[in-house]
Amino acid sequence: MAAGTAESDVGAGAERPRRRAPRFVLASPAWLLFIFFFAVPVLFIFWYSFGYKPDIYRTIATDQLSFDRYVESFSDTFRTVFSGTLQISIVGTILCLLIAFPFAYWLAVKVPPRWRGILLGLTIIPFWTNFLVRTLGWLILLQPNGALSGIMQDLGLIGSPLDVLDTREAVQLGVIYNYLPLMIFPLFVALDRLDPALREASKDLGANRWDTFRQVTLPLALPGVIAGLLLVFIPLTGDYITAAVLGGAKGNMVGALVASQFNTAQNWALGSAMAVILILMILGSVAIFAVIGLIGRAIVRRRRRVEIEPVTA
Amino acid sequence: MSAVTERRHVRRDPVNALLGVWGIVVFVFLFLPILMIVIYSFNDGRALVVWKELGIRPYVDALDNPTIRNAIFTSIRAALGAALIATVCGSLAGIALARRSGRWTIGFLALLFLVLVTPEIVDAISLLIWYVRIGGPFGPDNDILNYGLFRLWVAHSIFATAVVTLIVRARLAGLDEALEEASADLYAPPAQTFRKITLPLMMPAVLAGALLAFSLSLDNTIISSFVSTANASPWPVYVFSSLRSILRPEIAAMSTLVLLLTLFALALVAIVLRRGGQSGEEAAAMIVGVEAAPK
């Protein structure tokens, strides 16, 4: 196993010819794992989505394939849940970015370096606390007769006991909370990598703070922003645990529909079709974001070029 | 313009102050629910969310409850196995990607990307179908191992393998291959070069990856709730199922104990990483699985 690893491509080979393992050999355990326990099972989902449920005792039959389960999936209930899920995940991802960016900027740039390690360590703690348990923390916090409700009433912020549990707002809050760390880390890394000298140079060249942010910091932090958006959006769209804890009956997400087809309805064909729609929904959204991003970049570049050309001419 | 530049030198800069306030607000937001769990773990009542009186009975009850104890042990065993599989497969794949890239890399990275973007619920149902279909060691016929545990090991290691691969690859890509070439030029056999040069250099990434894989497994609720069996049911599945009946304070008590253990483990790893010459910041970044800024 180690025989293939340490050799360099140019160094030793010429001096001591030896049999070399094919290049991908070290990756083969991972290959096997991914193909046998990811790719093939997911292909089964695609296949099953064209099947049907033959009777109440059996979960799946695939002797007749059709698109019927997809048609069935687009019932009114599913469409409502579908658009609701998309709304929660898009709003949640954007709010995560808006909350995390100033925070990550503060942590990476403003906080004195000797404090930075400790504060970064502190932000890791929620990330390392069990997802479900953190959500239960909100369940306690948002109780109508709980402490937060009492304090808010005492301050006169709300007239009656807090009534937010089992609503979409509670789900929205919960997902923002649960996925916020996944936005903070990539942003922090991107901003931390940024050489302070670049901002200094921008300032020395007469840019004000806003210009420096818009033209130096933000473009250089863009890879972190994109990573954060993907890291939050993808799992958030598939999540239904947060909704199950905080949303009650109103917190239905596409993931919960899929799960219920497998857990209660025992209709694997319909559940598979819904899962495929969920995958397409996520990939489609990511593709749309990517296209918007690329168009935006092209526009910005074109505008920049116009600004620069007279100077170089 | 000059007003702006001058204000930068004034100690109380409004933008900086606002950023500082925002930082504190976000910290409060991040910690409030966790604090709630810790406080309510001392709730000596019947229901978790209804405060009755201060007491340590939840802790006594939690440690006394065999179902809770089993769930915790299952979680730990599942996480250890999954972390082991993910660390071995991921580290090897990371080395291969960083040092032996070729035409195969494109296909592999595409698969890796798909693993990373597939929602958990899809993995969950596809693995359930698959396990039921292939049976063997993943079905009740497996009499060597607890097949529920075996299912969890494999299920939890897939996403984690992809993560470990990326971390190890990033670490090795940031290291100069000339170090390994020099070792080979000095007539070190490949195994020795690997053991004395490559392995120590990639160790922080392997350790970080292993930790992350362990934590991902401990956290996993969706996949676990589909593939786990009655006698190998991990902690999050227990918590999730008690949502449907009654949430008792024992859950908060056990969660607080788990949190303390996690913090202890994290501190230990941070110390190890710092001894290995990482700054505090790098160590922290390593723990969340991101490569800190190259210095």
What pLDDT, on a 0 to 100 scale, did the predictor assign at position A275? 94
pLDDT tens digit sequence for B220-243? 999 999 998 888 899 999 999 998
Q: Which residues of B fall within a CB distance of 8 Å from A5?
A: 95, 99, 190, 194, 198
Query: Taking 50 as the threshold, does the pLDDT of residue A12 lie above it?
Result: no
pLDDT tens digit sequence for B244-278? 888 899 999 999 999 998 888 778 877 777 776 66
Burial A98-131 (b: 16+ CB within 10 A, else e): ebbbbbbbbbbbebeeeebbebbbebbbbbbbbb
What number is the average pLDDT over the span A280-302?
A: 87
Query: Taking 90 as the threshold, does the pLDDT of residue A40 lie above it?
Result: yes
The minimum CA-CA distance between A152 and chain B, rounded to whole Å, is: 15
Burial B66-79 (b: 16+ CB within 10 A, else e): eebebbbebbbbbb
Q: Which one of B26, B108, B184 has the shortest CB-CB distance to A6?
A: B184
Say whether residue B67 is in contact with chain A using an 8 A CB cutoff: no
What number is the average pLDDT over the span A290-312?
A: 74
The minimum CA-CA distance between B276 and chain A, rounded to whole Å, is: 16
* Banded model confidence at residue B7, pLDDT cuts 50, 70, 90: very low
**Under a CB-based contact definition with an 8 Å cutoff, are residues A271 and B125 in contact?**
yes
Domain definitions of chain A by residue range? 48-294
Which amino acid, one-letter code, is at A111?
V
Q: Which residues of A fall within a CB distance of 8 Å from B133?
A: 44
What number is the average pLDDT over the span B120-130?
A: 94
What pLDDT, on a 0 to 100 scale, did the predictor assign at position B208? 83
- Is the Cβ pair B292, A192 closer than 8 Å? yes
- Is the Cβ pair B93, A26 closer than 8 Å? yes
Q: Which of residues 173-192 of A touch B (CB under 8 A)?
A: 177, 180-181, 185-186, 188-189, 192
Say whether residue B258 is in contact with chain A using an 8 A CB cutoff: yes
What number is the average pLDDT over the span A232-237?
A: 92
- The more confident residue out of A250 and B123 is B123
Q: Which one of B116, B118, B161 has the shortest CB-CB distance to A279?
A: B118
Query: With pLDDT > 90 as the criterion, what percentage of chain B qualifies?
Result: 44
Lowest mean pLDDT across A188-192, A207-211, B137-141, B254-258: B137-141
- The more confident residue out of A19 and A149 is A149
Q: Which one of A7, A117, A255 has the shortest CB-CB distance to B281?
A: A117
Say whether residue A123 is in contact with chain B using an 8 A CB cutoff: yes
- Is the Cβ pair B97, A180 closer than 8 Å? no
Q: Which of residues 200-219 of B touch A (CB under 8 A)?
A: 215, 218-219
The minimum CA-CA distance between A220 and chain B, rounded to whole Å, is: 14
pLDDT tens digit sequence for A41-68? 999 999 999 998 888 888 888 888 888 8
Claim: this prediction has a pTM higher than 0.95 = no
Burial A287-300 (b: 16+ CB within 10 A, else e): eebeeeeeeeeeee
What pLDDT, on a 0 to 100 scale, did the predictor assign at position A35? 94
Say whether residue B21 is in contact with chain A using an 8 A CB cutoff: no
Q: What is the mean pLDDT of chain A?
A: 84
The minimum CA-CA distance between B37 and chain A, rounded to whole Å, is: 5
What pLDDT, on a 0 to 100 scale, did the predictor assign at position B38? 94
* Banded model confidence at residue B285, pLDDT cuts 50, 70, 90: low
pLDDT tens digit sequence for A65-94? 888 889 888 888 888 898 999 999 999 999
- The more confident residue out of A161 and A1 is A161
- Is the Cβ pair B184, A140 closer than 8 Å? no
The minimum CA-CA distance between A130 and chain B, rounded to whole Å, is: 5
Query: With pLDDT > 70 as the criterion, what percentage of chain A qualifies?
Result: 89
- Is the Cβ pair B34, A29 closer than 8 Å? no
* Banded model confidence at residue B35, pLDDT cuts 50, 70, 90: very high
**Under a CB-based contact definition with an 8 Å cutoff, are residues A105 and B9 in contact?**
no
> Coil, strand or helix: which one is A61?
strand
What number is the average pLDDT over the span A284-310?
A: 79
Q: Which one of B50, B89, B115 has the shortest CB-CB distance to A38?
A: B115
**Under a CB-based contact definition with an 8 Å cutoff, are residues B217 and B149 in contact?**
no
Q: Nearest residue on chain A to B162, judged by CA atoms?
A: A30
pLDDT tens digit sequence for B193-219? 888 888 888 888 888 889 889 988 998
Of the residues B91, B212, B288, the best mutation for testing chain A's interface (the one with the most A CB atoms within 10 Å of its CB) is B288
What CATH architecture is A48-294? Orthogonal Bundle (1.10)
Say whether residue B95 is in contact with chain A using an 8 A CB cutoff: yes
What number is the average pLDDT over the span A240-246?
A: 91
What pLDDT, on a 0 to 100 scale, did the predictor assign at position B14? 86
Say whether residue A107 is in contact with chain B using an 8 A CB cutoff: yes
The minimum CA-CA distance between B56 and chain A, rounded to whole Å, is: 18
